[in-house]
Amino acid sequence: MIYNTFKKLERKIYSILVFSFLFLSGCDYDTNQSALDPKGPLAKDQFKTFELSLWITVILFILVGGALLYALFKYRERPGDENKPMPKQSHGNPLIEGLLVIAFAVVLVILAIPTLKGIKMMKELPEEYEKDAITVNVKGYQWWFEFEYPDLGFTTANEFVFPVGKAVKINLVSNDVIHSFWIPKLSGKTDLIPGQENFMWVLADEAGEFYGQCAEYCGDSHAYMLFRAIAKPQEEYENWVSNMLKDPTKVAENSTIHDSHFKSLASKGEETLNRVGCLQCHMIGDVGGIIAPNLTKFASRGTLAAGWMDNNTENLKKWIWKSDQVKPGNLMYRSVEQMNLTEEDVDAMVAYLQTLK
């Protein structure tokens, strides 16, 4: 009976090994949100700690698993062993057990030292990165992020830009429930808690667009609460700041619009947006409310719906008219339902928003 049980266990082990191989063969580390592809000093430090813990785990698995397999194969019951006496049993060796306790305590210390150093590094900006660091205040809403540049005097939403090679000091608060701010390639997660300000920082070693998201369940559309962290070379960053500091583009003053029909449609869109009360929640420049994403320079963003969709005409129209199909539970859909907008109204609003560069 023991022999048959062992054979079943042996088949299960082989099945698990085959399944694990097939499962791991589908892994891809070079993805938009891979923490295994660090692009900054903080993420690289955290990755080293992960690698250390991974190799320790692998070694322990090999030692413990190897000892188990050795015992299973060496002492398994074979045909003809039914009448042999049971091998002498023991209930542990005090010396071996004591050495194992000490060994595992040492392993914990080895893991604890870089872990604690990493936590301290994440919560306190190292002095070497303090020079030229910029500050961004982040506020989490259901379900989007607001980014305020207090030293520069402007606010944006769902995308924040910073210079390559310079640290960004991030102050985190929540407007409603607990959220979690996470940019896998730049840093670990930090919670946004109502009534409490938390701190973290990021720094990118290279230019690029880094995908982030909320990593704490916060309601219906938690999975759709994304954002972008965009690292630009210093000159491009300064040009971006210069553009953000300009007054919001007005249709009549927009020299990039040469299509008279589009200009007329956009003018109607501006009137419609003001008429239906969009600025009670949204803000453009210094005008409007603050409970919805700031639309200043909206057309310069690459995404909409909190990073969930590319910012193009088709997606923008769907987002305004049928936002419940994109992000369940969002507040804008209930407001749009009450506006009784026509398709022509939506087309006009889309045209106007596309002028806000």
Question: What's the pLDDT score for residue 258?
Answer: 57
Query: Where does the pLDDT of residue 254 fall: very low under 50, low under 70, confident under 90, or very high at 90 and above?
Result: low
Q: Tokens representing 50? A: 């992960």
Question: What's the pLDDT score for residue 42?
Answer: 93
Rounded mean pLDDT of the chain? 85
Work out the number of other CB atoms within 10 angstroms of the CB of residue 66: 10
Query: Where does the pLDDT of residue 145 fall: very low under 50, low under 70, confident under 90, or very high at 90 and above?
Result: very high
CA distance 196 to 139: 11
| Lowest model confidence (mean pLDDT) among 90-99, 155-164, 227-236 | 90-99
79 Ramachandran zone, left/alpha/beta (phi>0; psi -120 to 50) = beta
Phi, psi at residue 275, to the nearest 5°? -65, -40
Residues 6+ apart with CB under 8 A from 205: 39, 40, 41, 164, 165
3-state SS class at 148: strand
CA distance 227 to 310: 12
Question: What's the pLDDT score for residue 8?
Answer: 60
Q: Tokens representing 166? A: 């310079």
pTM above 0.85, yes or no: no
Domain 251-353 fold is Immunoglobulin-like (2.60.40)
Instruction: Give whole-number Cα distances, 302 to 101, 245, 306, 332, in Å.
Output: 54, 19, 11, 20
- For residue range 52-87, list pLDDT tens digits in order: 999 999 999 999 889 888 888 887 777 777 777 777
For helices 313-321 and 343-353, give the axis angle rounded to 10 degrees: 130
Question: What's the pLDDT score for residue 332?
Answer: 80
Nearest C-alpha neighbor of 177 from the set 166, 162, 192: 192
Question: What's the pLDDT score for residue 335?
Answer: 63
- Topology agreement, domain 1-22+31-82+92-233 and domain 251-353: yes
CA distance 10 to 19: 14
| Lowest model confidence (mean pLDDT) among 4-18, 53-67, 109-123, 341-355 | 4-18
Question: What's the pLDDT score for residue 251?
Answer: 47
Please report the sign of the dihedral spanned by the C-alpha atoms of residue 327, residue 328, residue 332, residue 338: positive
Question: What's the pLDDT score for residue 336?
Answer: 65
Question: What's the pLDDT score for residue 13?
Answer: 65
Nearest C-alpha neighbor of 210 from the set 249, 164, 266, 169: 164
- How does DSSP classify residue 89? P
Question: What's the pLDDT score for residue 9?
Answer: 60
| Lowest model confidence (mean pLDDT) among 10-24, 26-40, 148-162, 173-187 | 10-24
Query: Where does the pLDDT of residue 252 fall: very low under 50, low under 70, confident under 90, or very high at 90 and above?
Result: very low
Range 260-274 average pLDDT: 83
Phi, psi at residue 212, to the nearest 5°? -130, 170
Q: Per-domain residue ranges for the chain?
A: 1-22+31-82+92-233, 251-353
Is 19 or 55 the better-scoring residue by pLDDT? 55
Residues 6+ apart with CB under 8 A from 328: 220, 221
DSSP one-letter string for 228-268: EEEEE-HHHHHHHHHHHHSPPPPGGG-TT---HHHHHHHHH
Q: How far is CA 298 from the centre of its chain?
A: 22
Question: What's the pLDDT score for residue 57?
Answer: 92
Range 316-326 average pLDDT: 87
Percentage of the chain lying above the pLDDT 90 cut = 46
Is pLDDT above 90 for 17? no
Is 92 or 130 the better-scoring residue by pLDDT? 130
CA distance 323 to 352: 18
Range 216-231 average pLDDT: 93
- For residue range 330-342, list pLDDT tens digits in order: 878 766 666 778 8
Query: Where does the pLDDT of residue 11 fall: very low under 50, low under 70, confident under 90, or very high at 90 and above?
Result: low
Is pLDDT above 60 for 2? no
Is 182 or 18 the better-scoring residue by pLDDT? 182
Domain 1-22+31-82+92-233 fold is Immunoglobulin-like (2.60.40)
